[in-house]
Structure 1
């Protein structure tokens, strides 16, 4: 064999005499629980029918505080209450605005 070509060695699969074990840790990702603070702020500033927007804002802040503490069940309860109050404030305010517009048009 000429010296120009180096010897080629064919390697097989690695021979491992010990068995390896793997450990898998499932870490839950950060669960994003909405607290509706921005929606509550908007309702408190612009659609504050019978102070429902302000009360929704208070519940949203409570929900955010519960989330910071780590009480996700309490945060979800307060967020659900804030969501219901925001929906009520928005519906009542829009309905009242439409009624005022209709009454204003018909009184002219």
Structure 2
């Protein structure tokens, strides 16, 4: 390409400071999209904890997948899809946390009921005494 095909002002050449070609500064408008709304949460830490603990029916794993999807969509700027994935991750986390609390609670209730039953039976705690073990096994025979 020939340089004569370009029309540069006499005081403005490439790679130099061109003062005459500058335009006066005008106002610049930047569209921020959802300026009033906060971006959707991704619940990634909560999902990770639910995935590592008990993880009944893979609910914690599903929450982790939707959390990662929500974070990806948030970084890509698709806030509507990020909000949908965030809502799904939240509900999977709630279900997983409910199951994670229910299983130890049921184990505790069964243990308490077993101790109450054994405490009401005669000779149930006398394992080292005479016929203690035989009486203990008699509790579980029908």
**TM-score (norm. length: structure 1):** 0.70
The answer for the alignment partner of 2:48 in structure 1 is 41
The answer for the alignment partner of 2:39 in structure 1 is 32
> Which deviates more, 89-98 or 60-69?
89-98
- Structure 1 or 2, whichever has the larger Rg, is 2
The answer for the alignment partner of 2:103 in structure 1 is 96
Q: CA deviation at 1:32?
A: 2.9
In the alignment of these two chains, the number of paired residues is: 87
Equivalent-residue separation in structure 2 for 1:47 and 1:41 (angstroms): 12
Maintained 8 Å contact 2:39/2:79: no
Equivalent-residue separation in structure 1 for 2:40 and 2:100 (angstroms): 27
> Any runs of at least 4 consecutive aligned residues in structure 1 with deviations exceeding 4 A, and if so which?
22-27
Maintained 8 Å contact 2:39/2:74: no
Alignment of 1:45-84 (within 5 A): 45-84=52-91
Secondary structure of 2:110's partner? helix
Distance 1:103 1:71, change over 3 A: same
**TM-score (norm. length: structure 2):** 0.54
Equivalent-residue separation in structure 2 for 1:63 and 1:46 (angstroms): 22
> Which deviates more, 76-85 or 31-40?
31-40
The CA RMSD over aligned residues, in Å, is: 2.1
Equivalent-residue separation in structure 2 for 1:24 and 1:65 (angstroms): 29
